[in-house]
Amino acid sequence: MSVFYASERFSNKTIDYYFGIHNSIKSVDLYYKNHKIKTIEIKD
C-alpha cells in the first residue's frame, strides 16, 4: 500500500488530497458529489 498526495488549483481554490491506495491500482477517478473531477494516473 502506498499513500498518494497532491495539491491542485481549481478555479479560485487550492485543494489538497491524499489517500491510501493499493500498489496494483494504476488510475483513480475523483468525484465531488455526483460530478467527476478528474482521473489521476498513478506512476511507479
pLDDT at 10: 77
Rg (CA), the chain: 11
Distance between CA atoms of 13 and 35, rounded to whole angstroms?
17
Read off the C-alpha cell for 21: 491506495
Q: What is the pLDDT of residues 1-44, one digit of tens each?
A: 888 888 888 788 888 888 888 889 989 898 889 999 889 888 76
Instruction: Please tell me the pTM assigned to this model.
Output: 0.59
Beta-carbon count within 10 A of 21 CB: 15
Which residues, 6 or more positions from 26, have their beta carbon under 8 angstroms from its beta carbon? Answer: 41, 42
> According to the model, what pLDDT value does residue 34 have?
94
Position 12 scores a pLDDT of 87
Residue 5's Cβ-side half-sphere holds a number of Cα atoms within 13 Å equal to: 1
What's the pLDDT at 37? 85
